[in-house]
Amino acid sequence: MAVAFLNLLAASAISSTDGAVLGACLALAVATLLFIFYIQPDASDLAPHRSKLDQLMERRDTIYDNLRDLRFEFRSGKYSEGDYNAMRVSIENEAAGVLTEIERVTESQVRRARGVRAVETERGER
């Protein structure tokens, strides 16, 4: 097929600029077809997206790890007591905010689930 295309190009009176544009279009078309039909999706593309609760729980675990590391570094003498207390209070405040957000998200999910059950119960009674 490529030989026939080249023979057609040579036989016709297509200028070199037109041939280059035509060749670039053909290469783009081939690359597009290869991408569509032969590139396999990555496993991470098929993974489900994390919910807000999952993200908050991961953040909570990270904060707890940071607090544990801070306590270890203070005990090993890396920080003064004033610096340790200031950083600890900051991390604990951040943890409290994340825990409050987790509670808010879980309560809204529970309310939503109860609301669905209440509607199903009303439909069943009719």
Mean pLDDT by 10 residues, the chain (126 residues): 62 68 91 85 70 92 97 96 97 97 90 64 53
CA distances from 36 to 5, 13, 32, 88, 104 (A): 24, 34, 6, 52, 43
- pLDDT at residue 45, as a whole number: 64
Q: What is the pLDDT of residue 11?
A: 57
22 and 14 Cβ atoms separated by less than 8 Å: yes
CB-based contacts of 22, cutoff 8 Å, min separation 6: 9, 14
pTM across the whole model: 0.52
| pLDDT, position 126 | 47
Q: What's the one-letter identity of residue 23?
A: G
